[in-house]
């Protein structure tokens, strides 16, 4: 009887855990593709400045692509603990700056956002938080270019 009790508790806890697991809710990718009436060099500089000021580490793949690491919310030893234990969101950005002419540039921003809500959950694709959204990044870039 005593050996059966731990198995029953284990089975009930496993069923409870599986019953709480929900489906992943699909969401639209956070992507913006716009034309800006500014030369490509100025747009690249503005993109790099805005993303750097926003806490992203920049990696330039080539002349057109700018890719970031995950954004650092808190710089220091507690950043890992915050993400690992309590769960939050983390984002990274992929930008493509393509010259359309001498005086206009096509900018494509894609923000990839992942979230989790606790110690025993994994990172999953989530809707982007407003401060890191592609729309907000575009607003900041336009502001840096004095287009607003």
Considering only CA atoms, which of 30, 39, 29 is closest in space to residue 106?
A: 39
Domain assignment present for 20: no
Predicted confidence at residue 70, as pLDDT, reads: 84
- Residue 12 maps to a domain: no
Number of domains in the chain: 1
Residue 18 placed within a domain: no
Range of the domain at 88: 28-144
Any residues with CB less than 8 A from the CB of 19 and at least 6 apart, and which?
none
What would the pLDDT profile of 7-48 be if each residue is shown by its tens digit?
655 555 555 454 444 455 566 788 999 999 999 999 999 999
Does pLDDT of 6 surpass 90?
A: no
pTM as predicted? 0.73
- Reduced to 3 states (helix: H, G, I; strand: E, B; else coil), residue 76 is coil
Question: CATH no. for residue 78?
Answer: 3.30.530.50
Within a domain: 51: yes
Instruction: Flag whether 102 is in a domain.
Output: yes
Report if residue 40 sits inside a domain.
yes
Q: Which residues contact 42 (CB under 8 A, 6 or more apart)?
A: 145
Assigned domain for 80 exists? yes
Q: Is the pLDDT of residue 1 over 80?
A: no
Quick one: pLDDT at residue 117? 74
């Amino acid at each position: 009887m005593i050996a059966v009790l731990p198995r029953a508790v284990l089975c009930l806890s496993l069923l409870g855990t599986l019953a709480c697991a929900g489906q992943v809710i699909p969401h639209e990718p956070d992507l913006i593709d716009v034309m800006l009436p500014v030369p490509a060099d100025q747009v690249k500089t503005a993109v790099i400045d805005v993303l750097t000021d926003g806490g992203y580490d920049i990696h330039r793949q080539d002349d057109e692509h700018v890719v970031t690491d995950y954004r650092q919310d808190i710089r220091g030893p507690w950043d890992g603990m915050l993400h690992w234990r309590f769960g939050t969101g983390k984002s990274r950005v992929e930008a493509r700056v393509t010259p359309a002419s001498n005086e206009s540039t096509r900018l494509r921003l894609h923000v990839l956002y992942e979230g989790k809500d606790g110690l025993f959950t994994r990172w999953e694709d989530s809707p982007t938080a407003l401060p890191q959204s592609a729309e907000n990044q575009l607003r900041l870039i336009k502001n840096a270019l004095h287009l607003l």
